[in-house]
Amino acid sequence: MQVLVYNHKKHSFSHDIHVGSGELYYIWILLTFQKGCKEFDCIKTVDGKLYSSFQDACYALGLLSDDKEFIDGIFEASRSQSGQMLRVLFVRLLIMSTMHKPDNVWKATWKLLADEILYARRRILNIPGIFTIFQLSPTFYVLHSRSYHLC
């Protein structure tokens, strides 16, 4: 990865920064829009509000997508793929660092991604209906085991 290397012959900077570079990528995007900044806090300030990360400042300026294309892609793939294949797809997207807010993609698609997990547990343990899902918070789910008395 090259990061703002000055070329004396061309009197310009070369850059090759991809989304997987993390905050460096978002700083680079912001520097193309935020002019005259002399401090990092100035770069992260949009309409008078200081954001906690460069990524959040990019969202505030409308420079990043809302990851809808990934959510739509997972929903489309769910028509023909198993839950296991959807989880593989989600992990690949995570590894490639292409999603800007993976937690939003997870919240929108977790039921599809969790498909077949309950079925597999029931089949392995040979006890139908042993597990149910309880939502404790928007991001925390628990597989609950019912107690059975075997005579």
Instruction: Parse the chain into domains and list their residue ranges.
Output: 2-60, 68-115
Task: Tell me the pLDDT of the chain (151 aa) as tens digits.
Answer: 334 544 555 555 555 565 666 788 788 888 888 888 888 899 999 999 999 988 889 888 888 777 887 888 889 888 888 888 989 989 988 888 778 788 889 989 988 888 777 777 777 777 666 555 555 455 555 555 554 444 4
List phi, psi (to 5°) of 138: -60, -20
CA 89 to chain centre: 12
108: amino acid identity, one letter: A
Q: Which structure tokens are listed for 148?
A: 């059975």
